[in-house]
Structure 1
Amino acid sequence: MKRLSALFDPFLLALIATVTAASLLPARGWGATVAGWAADGAILLLFFLHGAKLSRQAIVAGAAKWKLHLVVLATSFLFYPLLGLGAREVALHVAPAMAAGLLYLSLLPSTVQSSIAFVSIAGGDVPAAIGAASLSSIVGIVATPLLAQILMGAGGTSGAQALDSILKVGGQLLVPFVAGHLARPWIGGFVDRHKTLVGRVDRGSILFLVYTVFSAAVVEGLWHRTDVHDLVAALVIGLVMLAIVLGVTLWLPRAMGWAREDEIVWRFCGSKKSLVSGVPLAAAIFPAAQVGMLLLPVMLFHQAQLMVCSVLAKKYATQAKQG
């Protein structure tokens, strides 16, 4: 059981259970309307908590390595989206239903908690990892909707519609995030003392969002447009993307003569994609009926990256012990 829990994220199992519930008992009619209002509130709460959890001391501690932060951001929001465009073209031929979701996956920010955990296990620069992962999460609030508009046409087709969409998403996500961070001097102590409770509220809100968006997708015929072949193809294409990024973030820092601890930060913070950010961002950017399909590749990639990066982190740790 311990080995299974180490390989499979319990949160992913909760997500699968939520998707199953939404597939069997989707919200319809007035229930869907109420769930949509509650989902908007859940998004506000999520980003308020994200802002409240962000420690300024942690950001300052890693801010000195600005070059490292820039390459992590470039990997997440420039290199990955280029791979995402290629992945979409491949998917259009082998699994068309997954094409948009694979591109959306490539636009997401890095994870925070798991990236930092893997950097710590591997013996990397933890303060720099905290700064890089946190900065990626913050930048993603603006960069992901902007890239989604440019590359996916989310929120409208004209320039005015695009600007309106970006401003709307910014207000829905960035404002509560900033409000939460500004409130940290007053609520930060409570948040830090009750991390377990805050984490449960955080993940509970995400699960509710997942139920809401998958309900809308199921009503629109999600499982009539998706089969096992599509899911396997999305997983394989996602793994290829991950392998390319992990290869580049191994070769480049060594070619540039970077220190081992910085290489580790770049690899783990630059290669990861955040499901926790991906759910509320998708719910804010896209119509609810589209979100379920978009999130399927993200959920598959989430588990795959955890397993691959776990092996890599342990390999780094073993190499460090051997000298």
Structure 2
Amino acid sequence: MGRLKQTLSRAGLNSFFLLLIGMILLARLIPEWGTASSPLPLKTITGAGISIIFFFYGVKLSPQKLVKGLSNWKLHLLIQATTFLIFPLLVLVLYAIWGEEGNYLWLGTFYLAALPSTVSSSVVMVSIARGNLPAAIFNASISSMVGIFITPVWMEVLLPDTAVSFDLTDTFIKLSLQVLFPVLIGLLLHKYLISFVNKFQRSLKNFDQAIILLIVFTAFAESFAEDMFMGYSVLELVRLGALMLLFFFVMMALMYWFSKMLHFSRADTIAVVFCGSKKSLVQGAVMGRVMFPDPTVFGIILLPLMIYHALQLLAGSAIAQKLGNQTETKA
């Protein structure tokens, strides 16, 4: 139990997760502090914070490692196809069968499916499970940058049939200015600032989490202020949680099956399984803030991602720990 608790903490399911829940409760109690009429300029603060997050994310990337990682193209192609093609198509099929037009939870579920893979927890879990760590780092990094363009395109496929719409060109411009350009600038300054980033890694992580907490608070505050959750029962939220857990296990099973079909090694299979099944809360919160200009619905759209985020850490960490123990036993 102690090792599992340590694993969960390393993967991100620690005090930050509890603070996320706290932000939702706080938004319920004082929604006016997260709306446009708030006495604090939270929108300006989060906007600047987002750019700073991705600037330092770019600094952490090593150009040499990214170039070196290009050789294992079959593995990379499978992970990226899973993240940006198989996952969204699966949800689209389910939406066509059971989806309800105008239901923002379904829209949030599809948004989750179209997002890039998470970086930190994917890498941590692949490491714990004794998988191909360089491949995990490469794919998680590439996924984050590619997602800036692919996720909005996927959302444009579904959004015309919903009550939410956005300008695709305007979204690309905003995401490029707020996310992509800071990453590229950081990447160019990698060799000059990487020692600074390594020295203040804990402080930068705390800053990242603080900005995400602000995004979550303002998103849910706007939704609570407009009573957007009034039409959803506890049973619907429980069903949503079960669906998110099912998605996670289905994607892991598919990734395992595809890896065996392609005769991947155990280490490569572990990288595929964990990188292909993860979705990024950080980018989901950041990109959603740009893509969904109506803040009253953003909280609802973000809810499936937050549930999936928690479940992927819980289930993924337990599986990674078991795989790691099996590898140690065989060794």
The alignment's TM-score, normalised by the length of structure 2, stands at 0.88
**Which residue is 2:60 aligned to?**
53
Counterparts in 2 of 1:307 and 1:198: CA distance versus 1, 3 Å = same
Letter in 2 for 1:23: R
1:120 aligned to which of 123, 127, 145: 127
Say if 2:115 and 2:280, in contact at 8 Å, map to a contact too: yes
| Contact 2:100 2:106 (C-alpha < 8 Å) held by counterparts | no
Moved more, 245-254 or 213-222: 213-222
Quote the offset at 1:29 in angstroms.
4.8
CA deviations on 1:35-69 (whole Å, 9 max, x unpaired) are 22222222222222222222224323433212211
CA-atom RMSD, angstroms? 2.4
Q: Is contact 2:148-2:172 (8 Å) kept? A: no
**Structure 1: how far apart are the matches of 2:210 and 2:112?**
22
Question: 2:286 aligned with 1:283, yes or no?
Answer: no
User: Are 1:25 and 2:30 matched, yes or no?
Assistant: yes
SS of the equivalent of 1:63 reads: helix
Is the contact between residue 108 and residue 274 of structure 1 (CA under 8 Å) also seen in structure 2? yes
For the residue of structure 2 that corresponds to 1:110, the secondary structure is coil
In percent, how many aligned pairs have the same letter?
34
1:69-84 matches, within 5 Å, as 69-84=76-91
Residue 299 of structure 2: which of 248, 272, 292 is its match? 292
| Mapping for residues 33-52 of structure 1, pairs under 5 Å | 34-52=41-59
* 2:99 pairs with 1:92: yes
Q: CA deviation at 1:91?
A: 6.0
Q: CA deviation at 1:118?
A: 1.1
Match in the other structure for 1:9: 14
| TM-score between both structures, scaled by the size of structure 1 | 0.90
Distance 1:49 1:150, change over 3 A: farther
C-alpha distance in structure 2 between counterparts of 1:164 and 1:299, whole Å: 26
Q: 1:193 & 1:57 partners in 2: Cα distance?
A: 21
What residue is the counterpart of 2:206 in the other structure?
200
Q: What residue in structure 2 maps to residue 182 of structure 1?
A: 188
The 10-residue stretch of structure 1 (162-171 or 255-264) with the greater mean CA deviation from structure 2 = 162-171
Aligned to 1:265: 271
Contact 2:104 2:297 (8 Å CA) reproduced: no
SS at match of 1:22: helix
Q: Does residue 168 of the first structure (1) align with residue 168 of the second (2)?
A: no
Q: How does 1:78-157 map to 2 (within 5 A)?
A: 78-89=85-96, 92=99, 96-153=103-160, 156=165
Deviates more, 1:92-101 or 1:285-294: 92-101
Contact 2:115 2:279 in 1 (8 A): yes
CA offset at residue 316 of structure 1? 1.7
For residues 128 and 304 of structure 2, the distance between their equivalents in structure 1, rounded to whole angstroms, comes to 27
Unmatched runs of 5 consecutive residues or more in structure 1: none
Equivalent in the alignment of 1:245:
251
Q: 1:273 to 1:264 in 2, by over 3 A?
A: same
Look up the equivalent residue of 1:52 and give its one-letter code: V
How many aligned positions are there?
320
What CA deviation, in whole Å up to 9, does each residue of 1:261-285 have, x standing for no partner?
1111100000111112111111111
User: What is the CA–CA distance in structure 2 between the aligned matches of 1:10 and 1:88, rounded to whole Å?
Assistant: 34
- State the 4+ residue runs in structure 1 displaced beyond 4 angstroms: 1-8, 153-157
**Amino acid paired to 2:200:** H
Q: CA deviation at 1:95?
A: 11
